[in-house]
Structure 1
């Protein structure tokens, strides 16, 4: 798979002409500078997005003095497995008072966290409702200052992000309370984020609401929390394995396991999270490569917003040949999409645990001589059209000498970005089980990394909710914002992968809900079956559903009254939870009517007194907070260093 300019232009043309390519090339979202290789044939109707990498300089030395030797709280958050379907992982973040929930792509290659704003006229329909600034008592737009780009009236700070595949995001910078979930030690904090008023391209069509920027820079959510001295200068990500999903994210320090492998990370070498990679071994044999091959341009970059791995030409050819050499006797077959020359092999079987009997292990050796061993799931993806067949998830990075390691490389690996000590740690473990382990006290015995087999409930994440007590209405009632349930099907994941949309439609009809209300959160292998976790959200723009509606949905599931097409076999309700949202009081429910009447009388009074012009002018000025940002107004776009 050679990402030439023609290849990239062809990929871009495919984005403009189709959004329904349904084979599992993993959604290779790429945020590395200069890397424009994309794979658009994914198990989803959405296409691939390339994230930018951008560096906002900050005073790193002063930050480190604040962190030295002090154990601070951390934010423990669930990761939801969207890697197979969308090419990214998401987490949940709550913004505002009362809190509004958003599903955000975790991206170490981006610096700004942003969500669609209520007044956005050019934003797509995403997983959750848009952010309502007027409904948050703690929100305010960031006033124009010397440290930001300002709007045309020089009243508010704005941002603009442009991406290599021609999508973009722009809006104002706002500040509000951000909550990290009820499993977090870290209490809600004030933070600056982007309130989108325009998005184009894949940003417009993606399922996720927005981006959670974990890169280096003053607008990064990590940097903001570190500067407030509320977390240590570190964070960790743990992606689930092939067919398993789930995982965890930790903002803040984490006591590293004794056998964690570390690699040096040099922030002066590149603004991106890089490691000092020196050697690659396949089946224990070192590839005949100069160590400098992994040190070109930005070096070896880790990026959570990228699905696959991309090597410089010499390294890729050596790696490909070494793997093929080890697989003599196994049939090489065409890839799932004829537009790409993927390297695929048949006859390996469908069980992930058996892959190591066919495919070789791969070792990454770092500058300090420490070694990280990769299992086959760290460089393979399933062939969509042939059972028991797998393809290399490692590609040539065009003519770019940068080495880019995406999410596939760190499946079932806890990755700790220790920014304070300029190193990145790797610990092979079962990430779908890690979440339960993280709930143990710090005094618990060390965690063993021996077990690699997920249990039947490993991918079921605890119900998450805003930190603090549940919010109630004036009469003390709690209303239901979302239903979370898990069902077990007696068919395997391989048979299910290509029919997720059909299953979603079937469940929504049986629950008497709209398809837009029902979402697959994650799924895991459960013996010969599959365990799937779903969510049902309120209809339309509603922020909650009635108790009667929620009770009816749960009853239909619990009593096996949901009848699925025969191809999906039988199901069993495993567990369910509800997430609460504040139920509006009478005044809140009738705000529009009451305020409408008040304003109508006010307008009549102002008009009679000759004050109509002044009132109208005030309204025009108030709208500038969320107006679309024009590049001509002076917005400084964040781009890749060499955009397509």
Structure 2
């Protein structure tokens, strides 16, 4: 595990094995290849009728390209880089559909989920895929275009990644669904059914991988080969404070001020594992890096070693060749030292003593203000266009010190590849225009982008197994945040992960409860903390939202509002609590209660009033009785000279 900040739970793929004292590593390394029919994935779309008044500077919708008639699959992204090290989307496989949370990874070329037969798969977010429960599943039989199992009956796959994790299993074909708000209808596709996983793949919370790289088994390649989408897709990762984002499979009209870099689809690198000599990765023609307007003193060829400069959405941080990393560190640290001398910053230790992170304290806790403290960085492409990187594109928050940040750019061991992970494209729409061999970058608020994607087309049907099929999307994935079949909701329960340990969180639980109530627009009395557990530098909290007062249920509108705010990361908490992530949620019907239970507040109030009236009457009686007793048997002073007298009892 190299340069993994303490608060990162299970960062994915190349981010782990890539620093100074560790062997060099590049992007995910394929062990075997194979080619099969198209595979597709589930997507999810934004609620309709949402105001677009908050759209960025261009003041218009992002639209599907009109250059062709292909539909697009629009998918919501979940999670964030801080807590997870990756982003996931939702995919449904089979008939009826089985849901999975998959890491979106441009450095992988196969999509896979744990199979029910897997005895060496970890415990993930969702149950394993059960082929026997899908009426549309078929194994991919051994053929000349694939690697076969020992009995030469079924096609198999095997993938190994740079951080030494691995996945292997069989290939199957089934219907993959993109969610009922996508233009793209469910498709039959080939995917991997895992029988073995090791390393971080075993321990991660996500179920599996959604491969977006170039290759026969890639989601994008299969959809393009089937002719159902154009040869393009886009990703937009949320920022430092708010996770989530959006993904589009298919073409969109690029914003007018989008910056483009050339991407060579046939870049050749002599490696036995790539027999055709083509790299499956998405590279860009990076020529220079500027820090505070000053170019680093580097030969442009430093960014062209091995795989060149690769964009990998499955990697958390950025990794530069040794010469580039040293130059970047020296330049940025020099400028920060000036701030230190002005006493506005101070260099401190990193969050994990096992790593020598370069960290500074004393900056604003508001990510939008970091440009006032840290230098701007620009990436200059071969065509002369430049991409401006904000501090959130090369810094990560210190998990133990408020207002402290650490460099999220490291040395890629001895590997000459330049690897740009998710941190570099926070709040940046990245369009992978494979058809025109270019990649576009557009700075925007990715957490809000989902709401600005224009609705087009009609929602497709989910896969059907026949006339008696009752297949539908699971209720845990909001469909326009509608709650079909739920008439009344007794309570909403949800699990939240906070990037703060329990010892620091415990004294602030009442304060946190009030913030949760305020953000969800409910009464504080409705918010109940059910459970808190500590996991490293994070805390896992289970909350419940109950009906208000004597009400027996929560209205559907209120429930939808609560769920959408949580799922879209629109709940804003103070920096004291770090970042949060919604892990899962569920709704429960009202409990069946007797009349006196349903009217318990009225009953309690009535009993309270009766007791008050009774006590008041007793008090008046006792006062009058005492006055009478004092009149009849008044106390006499104790005369030390006379006989002792016993004081009258009160």
- TM-score, normalising length from structure 1? 0.67
Q: Does the alignment pair 1:92 with 2:74?
A: no
Deviation at 1:167, TM superposition (A): 2.7
Deviation at 1:256, TM superposition (A): 0.5
- Change in Cα spacing, 1:109 to 1:333, as seen in structure 2 (3 Å) is same
How far does residue 550 in structure 1 lie from its aligned partner after superposition?
13
1:326 corresponding residue in structure 2: 335
Match of residue 137, structure 1, among 121, 135, 146 = 135
**Partner of residue 287, structure 2:** 278
**CA, structure 1 residues 475+527, in 2 after alignment: closer, same or farther (shift >3 Å)?**
closer
What's 1:482 paired with? 476
State the SS of the aligned residue for 2:102: strand
Q: 5 Å matches for 1:323-472?
A: 323-327=332-336, 328=338, 329=340, 330-440=345-455, 467-468=461-462
Q: Is the 1:179–1:466 Cα contact (8 Å) retained in structure 2?
A: no
**C-alpha distance in structure 1 between counterparts of 2:498 and 2:17, whole Å:** 34
In structure 1, list runs of 5 or more residues that go unmatched: 1-10, 15-20, 41-47, 60-66, 443-464, 512-517, 539-544, 560-644
Contact 1:174–1:194, Cα closer than 8 Å, also in 2: yes
On the 8 A contact 1:247/1:434 being kept in 2, the answer is yes
1:159-558 counterparts in 2 under 5 A?
Answer: 159-269=157-267, 270-327=279-336, 328=338, 329=340, 330-440=345-455, 467-468=461-462, 481-482=475-476, 501-502=533-534, 506-507=541-542, 523=569, 526=572, 528=574, 534=582, 536=584, 547=589
Q: Tell me the C-alpha RMSD between the 2 structures.
A: 4.2
Contact 2:32-2:147 within 8 A present in 1 as well = no
Cα 1:440–1:243, aligned 2, differ >3 Å: closer, same or farther? same
2:59 maps to none
Instruction: Write the distance in 1 (CA, Å) between the matches of 2:285 and 2:311.
Output: 11
1:524-583: per-residue Cα shift (whole Å, max 9, x none)? 562748896646468xxxxxx9755799xxxx9xx9xxxxxxxxxxxxxxxxxxxxxxxx
TM-score (ref. length: structure 2): 0.67
d(CA) in 2 for partners of 1:253, 1:475: 33
| Cα separation, partners in 2 of 1:170 and 1:280, compared to 1, 3 Å | same
| CA–CA distance in structure 1, aligned partners of residues 134 and 471 of structure 2 | 20
Structure 1 position 282, deviation (Å): 0.7
Please list the CA deviations of residues 291-348 of structure 1 after superposition, one character each: whole Å capped at 9, or x if unmatched.
Answer: 1111111110000010001111111111111112222123211111122111111110
Q: Does 1:102 align with 2:76?
A: no
- How many residues align? The count is 485
Does the C-alpha gap of structure 1 residues 281 and 478 become closer, same or farther in structure 2, counting only changes over 3 Å? Answer: closer
Aligned counterparts of 2:455 and 2:585: Cα–Cα separation in 1: 31
Shift of 1:53: 5.2
Per-residue Cα deviation, 1:80-101 (whole angstroms, up to 9, x for no partner): 0232112111000000111110
Q: 1:56 to 1:263 in 2, by over 3 A?
A: farther
Distance in 2 (CA, whole Å) between partners of 1:251 and 1:480 is 22
Q: Deviations over 1:29-71 (max 9, x none)?
A: 3449xx931699xxxxxxx998435795999xxxxxxx99523
CA distance, structure 1, for counterparts of residue 258 and residue 320 of structure 2: 25
Deviation at 1:471, TM superposition (A): 10
Q: Deviations over 1:146-169 (max 9, x none)?
A: 101111221111112223343322
Match of 1:627 in 2: none
Confirm or deny: 8 A CA contact 1:81 1:522 kept in the other structure: no
Distance 2:475 2:161 in 1: 34
**1:20-35 equivalences in 2 (<5 Å):** 23-24=6-7, 28-31=11-14
Structure 2 distance, partners of 1:435, 1:105, is: 18
* In structure 2, C-alpha distance between the alignment counterparts of 1:141 and 1:497, rounded to whole Å: 50
- Of residues 528-537 and 264-273 in structure 1, the stretch that sits farther from structure 2 once superposed is 528-537
| Matches of 1:505 and 1:380, distance apart in 2 | 25
How far apart are residue 495 of structure 1 and its match?
Answer: 8.7
Q: 1 CA distance for matches of 2:498 and 2:415?
A: 40
On the 8 A contact 1:346/1:388 being kept in 2, the answer is yes
Q: Secondary structure at the match of 1:94?
A: strand
Q: What is the 5 A alignment of 1:113-152?
A: 113-152=111-150
The 1:345–1:117 alpha-carbon spacing in structure 2 relative to 1, beyond 3 Å, is same
**Residue 18 of structure 2 is aligned to residue 37 of structure 1:** yes
Maintained 8 Å contact 1:56/1:216: no
Q: Is the 8 A contact 1:55 1:217 kept in 2?
A: no
SS of equivalent to 1:245: coil
The alignment partner of 1:182 has SS state of coil
Distance 2:148 2:266 in 1: 29
**Structure (1 or 2) with the larger CA radius of gyration:** 2
d(CA) in 1 for partners of 2:504, 2:307: 37
For residues 58 and 257 of structure 1, do their structure 2 counterparts lie closer, same or farther at Cα, with a shift above 3 Å needed?
A: farther
Separation in 2 of the partners of 1:393 and 1:39? 14
In the TM superposition, what whole-angstrom CA distance separates every residue of 1:374-403 from its partner, at most 9, and x where no partner exists? 100000001112111101000111111111
- Once the two structures are overlaid, the 10-residue window that deviates more, 135-144 or 21-30, is 21-30
